[in-house]
């Protein structure tokens, strides 16, 4: 299982998904009306490292974070 | 990297970093302070921070600065910061003026674009995500259809 | 523009300017502090200032900054400043981050090249003009044979 | 008469000269062994305004400042 957590303004509790790649996560998010929009503009981290390869393989116990648009300062 | 609950004590932080710069025998010390402006009906701004990734982002900058003989510093508020108070300080300590002036610019701009911090307007006690002022991070959109 | 005999009280000056920035409802406040470095056999640096032209130079920058909605500030030491102490602070107060980052760079560089201030190394109590580190001002050399 | 003052590291007291242009001041400085060198790298102000036209006319009572290379900060 992979834990997916939604950061900042995405008002959603963490979920556990049975997926093995970011591509599968993308498919999951695109099916969810609320998450679809965030998929458009969010970055993704796996175990706290930003990943930009959609083919990235996920393994059991991985933690994925969804990071929406930022504005520090 | 220093995170504080609520407004920053700018005087204390800048004074301490200034002493550090002098102790390191560095000639140039630049600070950038972000102050909450009165705009529209805002009472305060509020911030969420995802610390593990912010820490990595900052450590990466620390390495980058080190390669140029410089040091970067950063302090940020978590939670509410009222109008007129400060939420953010970044600094560069460097033996060289040019390095310091160039680094502070890159450091602050990359902070704005890639530090995992989310900003909310506080209006009538409610937090409203500052969506229009926010920037998608590097690598954003890979989970969208067009990202594939 | 503030001139002080001897080292600057950086804490006091930065704190005061920071309050001014907040009072002006400006979101960005940048300071550049120049600290005396230990180098060679130097005990201190010493500065001469020609105030009338420095004042004009500064007023000209004040106008330039105003046209961009910003304010510039400057403090400098006159006379001796020992190692580890600060001789120079410049600052930009601006509603906008980009304006502040660009102005501080131009302001500090033009200061270095054109502010009528002369620097001396103090070695064994004697002032030695820092000739190699000094820059001819804009328009320099017009009184030379080649300037005509 | 025009008063000429030497700023910063130029170890020289102010002088009064009977000249009517910066060109004449240039000629004067080039004849002086010590001042010749400073003429190479100094800027010039008349009544506290930087002047970069060698043809600039001087009038009685003008105050000329010689500004050697600077290094504030």
Phi, psi of A54 (to 5 degrees): -65, -20
DSSP states of chain B as a string? -EEEESS--HHHHHHHHHHHHHHTT-SEEEEEEEEPPP-TT-SEEEEEE-HHHHHHHHHHHHHHHHTTT-EEEEEEEEEEEETTSEEEEEEEEESSHHHHHHHHHHHHHHHHHHS-EEEEEEETTEEEE-GGG-BPPTTTTTTSSTT-
Q: Residue A65 and residue A43: Cα distance in Å, rounded?
A: 8
Q: Output the average pLDDT for chain C.
A: 96
Q: If pLDDT is split at 50, 70 and 90, which confidence band does A11 have?
A: confident
| Residue contact B32–C27, C-beta within 8 A | no
Q: The domain D2-67: what is its CATH number?
A: 3.10.20.30
| Residue contact B35–C14, C-beta within 8 A | no
Mean pLDDT on B32-55:
96
| Residue contact B33–C38, C-beta within 8 A | no
| Residue contact C27–B18, C-beta within 8 A | no
Q: What is the pLDDT of residues D23-72, one digit of tens each?
A: 999 999 999 999 999 999 999 999 999 999 999 999 999 999 999 999 99
What are B17's two structure tokens?
A: 């970093």
Q: If pLDDT is split at 50, 70 and 90, which confidence band does B146 have?
A: low
When comparing pLDDT for A11 and B53, which is higher? B53
**H or E element: which one contains C76?**
strand C71-82
Q: Output the average pLDDT for chain B.
A: 96
Question: Does residue C146 surpass a pLDDT of 70?
Answer: no
Q: If pLDDT is split at 50, 70 and 90, which confidence band does B148 have?
A: low
- Residue C147's pLDDT is 57
| CA neighbor of C32 nearest in space, from C109, C139, C84 | C109
Taking one residue from A and the other from B, the number of pairs with CB-CB distance under 8 angstroms is 122
| Domain architecture of chain B: domains with CATH | 2-134 (3.90.1170.40)
Mean pLDDT on C96-118:
97
Q: What is the pLDDT of residues C46-93, one digit of tens each?
A: 999 999 999 999 999 999 999 999 999 999 999 999 999 999 999 999
Candidate from C11, C27, C33 with C-beta closest to B29: C33
Mean pLDDT on C3-15:
98
- Residue C40's pLDDT is 84
Mean pLDDT on B45-72:
98
Task: Write out the residues of chain D at the interface with chain C, using a CB-CB cutoff of 8 A.
Answer: 7-9, 22-23, 25-26, 29-30, 39-45, 48-54, 65-73
- Residue C80's pLDDT is 98
| Residue contact C21–B35, C-beta within 8 A | yes
- Residue B40's pLDDT is 84
Q: ipTM higher than 0.90? A: yes
**H or E element: which one contains C110?**
helix C97-114
Contact between D10 and D70 under an 8 Å Cβ cutoff? The reply is no
Considering only alpha carbons, which residue of chain D is nearest residue C53? Answer: D48
- Residue C145's pLDDT is 72
Q: What is the share, in percent, of chain C residues with pLDDT greater than 70? A: 98
Query: Do the chains D and A touch each other, judged by at least 3 C-beta pairs below 8 angstroms?
Result: no
- Residue B145's pLDDT is 72
- Residue D11's pLDDT is 85
Mean pLDDT on B70-88:
98
């Amino acid at each position: 299982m992979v834990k997916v957590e939604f950061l900042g303004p995405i008002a959603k509790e963490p979920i556990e998904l049975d997926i093995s790649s970011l591509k599968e996560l993308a498919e999951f998010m695109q099916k969810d009306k609320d998450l679809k929009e965030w998929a458009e503009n969010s970055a993704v981290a796996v175990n706290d490292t930003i990943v930009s390869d959609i083919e990235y393989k996920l393994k059991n116990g991985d933690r994925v974070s969804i990071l929406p648009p930022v504005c520090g300062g | 990297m220093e995170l504080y609950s609520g407004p920053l004590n700018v005087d204390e932080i800048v004074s301490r970093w200034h002493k550090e710069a002098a102790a390191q025998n560095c000639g140039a010390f630049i600070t950038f302070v972000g102050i909450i402006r009165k705009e529209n009906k805002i009472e305060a701004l509020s911030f969420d921070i995802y610390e593990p990734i912010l820490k990595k982002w900052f450590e990466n900058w620390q390495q980058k600065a080190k390669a140029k003989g410089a040091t970067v510093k950063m302090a940020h508020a978590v939670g509410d910061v009222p109008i007129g108070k400060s939420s953010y300080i970044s600094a560069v300590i460097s033996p060289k003026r040019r390095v310091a002036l160039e680094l502070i610019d890159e450091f602050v701009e990359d902070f704005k674009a890639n530090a995992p911090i989310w900003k909310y307007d506080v209006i009538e006690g409610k937090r409203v995500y500052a969506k229009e002022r926010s920037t998608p991070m590097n690598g954003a959109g890979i989970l969208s259809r067009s990202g594939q």
